[in-house]
Chain A
Amino acid sequence: MTFWARTYDFLQGDSRTSSLVRVAFSVAVVLLIWEILTATVVTNSLLLVPPLEVFAALGRELANGNVWTNGVATGVALLVSFPVAVFIGVAGGLILASNRLFSLTAGPMLMALYSVPVVALAPLFIAWLGLGFASKFVIVSLVAVFPVLVTTEVGLRATDKALVDAARSFNANGWQIFTTVTLPYALPYVVSGVRVAWARALVGIVVAEFFGSFAGFGFAILAAGQTFDTATLLAYVILLGAMGVIGSLVFESAERRLAPWRHE
């Protein structure tokens, strides 16, 4: 009883070790289910291969330099377009939050654009901009900009009125209220928008590379799929998954650092 109770308490605790144990456990369970599936239900290796073969393929791609080539193509496109998207999103959110009429006028249109799966327009952008960097840039920026824009506006409007009153009572002018109250209050919202945008950017880049490129993770996945190399295909999916998880962890910790009072 006490042993199990103690184990349970440890596993649901906040310590670094217990969270590592939890992650390791969930990864192990997924790998186990995957292994069992390939051994019993889906034995056709065109459809699904066991985890070990995927890691072997990953090793092969690392050794022959393909991961590097594709990684540079995808990485450069993301590193250029994602910051641009964040910048435009924050700027747009600032503009929308600063003027009610503007927000009411542009809001519904932006909401519609946010809801449309922009990736569906990918073939059109490729027809306009050709294969390669330009179309990747536009597609990734477009999918990533909206979450940032929306959360920035929401964050700027969410400001606690009591804090604004306190600032005003100390004779703060509009600019001082903005820099010392409104902006810091909105920052964690912005970061949570950036986190969502990162996940969307990864989808955007893969789709852009499916349709219009000669290199990149999306290109490699498509190429592997067309040659029925399921192991290589899944190896690149794992790499993309890792990028998603790392980005998510980074932005989550930034959020926690910017707004510690929300997490206790």
Chain B
Amino acid sequence: MSKTTALEISNISKKFERPGRPTIEALRDINLSVKQGEFVSIVGASGSGKSTLLRIVDGLTQATGGTVSVNGKIVTRPGKDRAVVFQQDSLLPWKTVIDNVAYGLAINGVSRREREQTARHFINVSGLQGFESHFPHQLSGGMRQRVNVARALAVSPDILLLDEPFAALDAQTREVMQTELLRIWEEEKKTVVLITHQIDEAVFLSDRVVVFSARPGQIREEIEIELPRPRDLEVKRSATFVAYVDHIWKLIEQEVRMGMKS
């Protein structure tokens, strides 16, 4: 059964022009299509422009060339069909958990009653029950990222864009959050694009891993991850998993070494 395409990235390139300094070419000719309900991760050395690509897909940054289309419509600005889980703490520190989760809905003019209901639902989905009236500074890093995920889910986007969401967490919390994310993804059936530099995270979560080259970011290789689902942390010890990680690591290592020479 062939699924419909949710996200189509065609010939995207991005150059940062800086007056009086050399232009940076961040992305060159990126072509990628993501199917409805697919979980795709993008990995690459730092500075490979993967976060820039995510911002272009969301519409926060304009590409220099090429187009992004979501469900057949060309993206020019952020829209309800996409939501981002950001890497830093991007929660509003003066709002409680429930108000943070409802923030996107409030911006889009949803009535107070309805957005409270929706927020409560996604607070439960993300395992935040009992923390509704806490402020972000009263939560641990892992709990804060749950709020970030819940806030993105609350606007019911078709595509969830995750920009290194667990990079700031300690290793144990990160693993817990990965399994939580998988569970939520299986329940909510969203299309997910994840940016990460953790190769094992990408392999564990994804249907497909896209490896970026060093600057300018280009697609070096796409790898289908054929591990059975549902997956649990056990799978990380299997030989197939280790082989995938090993293969991707070698690709990135070459890029990093080449980047060091230039």
Contacts and interface: CB of A to CB of B under 8 A. Distances in A.
B78 A180 contact: no
Interface in B73-108: 77-80, 82-84, 86, 88-94, 103-104, 106-108
B228 to A, nearest CB: 34
Contact of A261 (B83, B90, B137): B137
A261 B86 contact: no
Give the bracket for the number of chain A residues in contact with chain B. Answer: 10 to 19
A41 interface: no
B241 interface: no
A166 B90 contact: yes
A264 B138 CA distance: 9
Contacts of A163: 90, 92
A261 B104 CA distance: 22
Interface residues of B, number: 27
B150 to A, nearest CB: 13
Contact of A166 (B59, B77, B79, B84): B84
B94 A259 contact: yes
B94 A176 contact: no
A172 interface: yes
B90 A165 contact: yes
Interface in B135-155: 135-137, 155
B92 A171 contact: no
A112 interface: no
B94 A258 contact: yes
* Secondary structure dominating the interface of A: helix
Interface in B107-135: 107-108, 135
7 contacts: A162-B89, A165-B60, A165-B90, A167-B107, A260-B137, A261-B94, A261-B135
A181 interface: yes
Given A176-B107, A261-B135, A264-B137, A169 B92 contact: no
A264 B93 CA distance: 12
B38 interface: no
B137 to A, nearest CB: 4
